[in-house]
Structure 1
Amino acid sequence: MKRLSTLLLTASITASVMATGCIQPTGDAVSDAIPTAQDVRVNLPDSAGEAPAALGEVSEYYAMTRGITRGFNAGAGFVLVLVHAIVQMPPTTVDGNTYTWGPGSDPLDPADYRLTVIDNLDGTYDWSLDGKSKFDPNAEFLTAVSGLAVAGDEAHRGSGEFTLNFTNMKALDPIEHNDDGDGTITVIYDLENRDGTAASLEMHIDGTDENGQAVVADYAYAENQDGSGDFQFSLPADVDENGSALEDIILRSRWMADGSGRGDARISGGDAGDEVVEASQCWSTSFRTVYETSTHPEILPEAGDVSECAFADQDLPELPGV
């Protein structure tokens, strides 16, 4: 969903709540159980800390990782920005342990929206953002986003999951989402980070793009308390950059707290043909390539000094089906 939609939904439901006879707030429990957009994000370092290394070019694997993290952060973050904006207000109605904000909308919005949160009375909360189209007087509510939040020891540092349904989003707002694909994105998170264990995020995409082509992808991310991280993902890319065919690359990027890192990949299809190529690339704290190698020299010839790598050993991705 685009930024404009996020702002409109937030404004619509918030305005609806303010316009109704609101009851007293439920306290901070709901807000604390749901992570913030700042927490559910991939924190890849992006500021330089040293002079460019010998090879001099910005690491392609770092650039791929940064590009994917921005898309991941936008997809997961907008939902949490919206939900947090809503739950700061008192609920419109309370029925036992079910709290509802809305429904409501602005006059020109194509749908009415509501947020429903169910307190399961065990430290967990089911929640859903639903919309009902104004185009059809007999329309029923469709779920745009739904999730389960498990409270942690610290506010916004629990665990849970949520699913974005882009098929329903398009049905609710066909103008805003005319160019979007269909399907779902599911995000699973565990932010407890207890006893030095890594916080983790996973994202699974299952749908079609705007051209009707299947899109299935998995992302997996772990973040340590010192800011170092481990991110795995897949994408099509012209790895050898000769302008011919796109290869399928499954990449595992690891980085230290200072930003230096290493990417290890499996590459297939395209110019790799039936061969599965293993490739590695290391970057410095200024994100410049210091070493690269592959099992297929035409894909990625060896260059640089492996002793400059932040991680000495190759560690290939472990995504499902890989």
Structure 2
Amino acid sequence: MTTHTKLLMAALVLTGCGRMDAATEFRSALPTPEQVAVGEPRQKGQALRADEAVQGLERDKTSELYQLTRTTTAFVNGNTVGILALIGRVTEHTPTSITDDTAVWGPFTEALARNAWRLTVKKTGENTYAYVLAGKNKQAADSAFADVLTGTHTPVLDEAGEVTKGFGQGELVVDSDRLKNLGESESGEGALSVQYARPDSTSAVTVNAQFRLGQGSKSREADYRYRAVPGQGGEFDFKMQQDLYKPSGSSSRMEDITIKSRWQETGAGRSDVKLSGGDLAAAATLNECWNTGFNSAYLAFSLEAQPRYGVEATDCVFTPAVYSAL
């Protein structure tokens, strides 16, 4: 074989490898909705109610703490998954401009949408990227663009050293106030910060989030910690204020609550709760277990001498109680 032929064959082999082009690399260096989604024990078609009183919990009825866990995951996901899906739709188009270290998409708008979007992705290191999604009313001048999402991402590289879409770790911040002003969110306000890691298809997935609204005595905040191993269920810690304890004749006052929910892949699980303040004279704990049908099987309240119903050893898939460290 001549040298000329060898060089030609080598060129054909390299071409066949399909090296990732620059636009695809920048697209792949962004987190996907699945990567930052908080999982949950799911029952299709089940209504979500998070405002029931402790005394309203009943055996063989859908577990209220299971429903509260689902409601909370829906809140976290509602503030992140949708906007990352929007980024996915923006990057389906050809970048407006692209250089060795920066790709820009937009201004882009969907046919029936009220807003226009501009996404900027920068390569900030050997394997790190930063991105900004800015939005404005599509009738406004470009000077009206305001950042609604900022983030950084470190993707996992494959054996060829190329970016693997959907795996990696990073952090993002959603400005819910600006999304609400743009009409993209009805109830969003404050800022939501999310840190996530998904190293591969079998390792544990983690999502940590912090919600902050306002300052000083009127500030509100909530914290969330999620961890799951594919095929092995998951656990979710969250801290919030909720009027969960409502003794007869009392006023409606919020308790400070930390909750740790754990569930198996079958959906069966338990929640262990610490409560203080509100209508409580002293700190208390609440424990509930649910079965694979998501019905309450065990309930204990520390201010009562005996469990309300059920036997922890036989009716709970997890024992003993484990409380959140938040």
Same fold (TM over 0.5): yes
C-alpha RMSD over aligned residues:
3.1
Give the conservation status (yes or no) of the 8 Å contact 1:232–1:252: yes
Distance 1:180 1:67 in 2: 15
Q: Which residue of 1 aligns with 2:196?
A: 189
Distance 2:218 2:112 in 1: 32
1:276-307 deviation line (CA, Å, top 9, x unaligned): 21221111111111212132129x95321111
1:284 and 2:291 are equivalent in the alignment: yes
Distance 1:108 1:42 in 2: 30
TM-score, with length taken from structure 1: 0.77
- Aligned-pair CA distance for 1:225: 2.2
Amino acid at match of 1:198: A
Number of equivalent positions: 283
Correspondences of 1:84-103 after superposition (within 5 Å): 84-103=88-107
Secondary structure at the aligned position of 1:78 is classed as helix
Q: Which residue of 2 aligns with 1:263?
A: 271
Amino acid at match of 1:238: D
- Aligned-pair CA distance for 1:88: 2.2
2:68 to 64, 82, 98: 64
Give the conservation status (yes or no) of the 8 Å contact 1:147–1:160: yes
TM-score, with length taken from structure 2: 0.76
Correspondences of 1:17-166 after superposition (within 5 Å): 26-47=22-43, 55-105=59-109, 112-132=116-136, 139=143, 141-153=145-157, 154-166=164-176
Q: Which residue of 1 aligns with 2:257?
A: 249
- Aligned-pair CA distance for 1:208: 4.2
Secondary structure at the aligned position of 2:153 is classed as strand
Higher RCO structure, 1 or 2 (CA under 8 Å, sep 6+): 1
Identity %: 27
1:207 and 2:220 are equivalent in the alignment: no
Secondary structure at the aligned position of 1:313 is classed as coil
Amino acid at match of 2:275: I
- Aligned-pair CA distance for 1:75: 1.2
Amino acid at match of 1:46: R
Give the conservation status (yes or no) of the 8 Å contact 1:149–1:160: yes
- Aligned-pair CA distance for 1:58: 1.4
- Aligned-pair CA distance for 1:108: 9.3
- Aligned-pair CA distance for 1:170: 4.6
- Aligned-pair CA distance for 1:272: 1.2
Query: Where do 5+ consecutive residues of structure 1 fail to align?
Result: 1-23, 49-53
Give the conservation status (yes or no) of the 8 Å contact 1:25–1:89: no
Compare CA radii of gyration and give the structure with the larger one: 2
Query: Where do 5+ consecutive residues of structure 2 fail to align?
Result: 1-19, 45-57, 158-163
Secondary structure at the aligned position of 1:259 is classed as coil
- Aligned-pair CA distance for 1:97: 1.1
Amino acid at match of 2:40: L
